[in-house]
Amino acid sequence: PDFFLKYEVLVASSLAEYVMLSCKEGSEQHEEIRNKFEIIQEKATDNALGVYLTNKFVRERLQEIVDQAPYHLSAKVLNIYGSVSRPRYLTREALAAEIWRKVDAITEIGKIENIHEINSNQLDRLDELYKKMRDDLKDLERYTDSRHTDLLKEAKDLVASVRGLGREFEGKDERWGKYDEIESARGKMMRANRELLEKLAGLTGDPRPN
């Protein structure tokens, strides 16, 4: 479904309809439909896609588009994907993809060159990323089949290691005196991240991390 969310795919049933849909200056009706779809696209940025498409408001908006524009293939496919007739739980592959999207923020942390010289703004950002990833994974719980909870647990353990790293900078102790502790916490986080991404890549078919 990612493709149909990223791109507005339309299907023409005749040459005349194709010409109409291809025009840069579309009809007022199509402009209205396009605006509705753009809102759906924009609000999906920070949400697990599978969960997002089951949202009642999103499904109602998609159905409105389908009713107004039967040629709107993207809205039709996304509406079917998010329909209540779908299985309640995500497949293992879909869950892996959602988890990857949610923990990908750790790559931002890994880019901090000298972790011992991290500043207050970066520490605030570290805490912000930790809380967001924690809450995002929490949201996935009700869509996780009991057979696949191992993936969610590993992801939660990874996110917990981010909090562990942040704790090493708390208190009044000089950082040079906690060099080993900081290095250990950072190493634990990066190893856990690599191991999890290796497992997720095997399920999603995405390239494994370098």
Predicted confidence at residue 156, as pLDDT, reads 97
The DSSP code for 75 is: H
Question: To the nearest whole number, what is the mean pLDDT of the chain?
Answer: 83
* Beta carbons within 10 angstroms of residue 15's beta carbon: 8
Predicted confidence at residue 56, as pLDDT, reads 81
Q: What type of residue sits at position 164?
A: G
Nearest to 88 by CA among 140, 51, 143: 143
pLDDT in tens, 46-104: 556 777 888 888 889 999 998 988 888 888 888 888 775 455 678 899 899 999 989 98
Per cent of the chain over pLDDT 90 is: 25
Predicted confidence at residue 153, as pLDDT, reads 96
Provide the pLDDT confidence category of residue 114 given band limits of 50, 70 and 90.
confident
Predicted confidence at residue 12, as pLDDT, reads 67
| CB contact set of 179 (below 8 Å; sequence gap of 6+) | 116
pLDDT in tens, 174-185: 666 777 888 898
| Least-confidence region, from 82-86, 121-125, 155-159, 162-166 | 82-86
Token pair of 179, please?
């060099």
Residue 177 three-state SS: helix
| Least-confidence region, from 19-23, 115-119, 147-151, 189-193 | 19-23
pLDDT in tens, 6-36: 888 887 666 666 556 666 555 677 788 889 9
User: What are the start-end ranges of the H helices in 44-148?
Assistant: 49-52, 56-68, 73-81, 92-103, 106-110, 120-140
Q: What angle do CA 89, 138, 182 make, to 5 degrees?
A: 135
When computed from its CA atoms, the radius of gyration of the chain, rounded to whole angstroms, is: 22
Which is higher by pLDDT, 1 or 93? Answer: 93
Predicted confidence at residue 80, as pLDDT, reads 82
Q: Is the pLDDT of residue 201 over 70?
A: yes
Token pair of 28, please?
């007022």
Instruction: Indicate the Cα dihedral angle 139, 143, 145, 151, nearest 10°.
Output: -40
Predicted confidence at residue 13, as pLDDT, reads 62
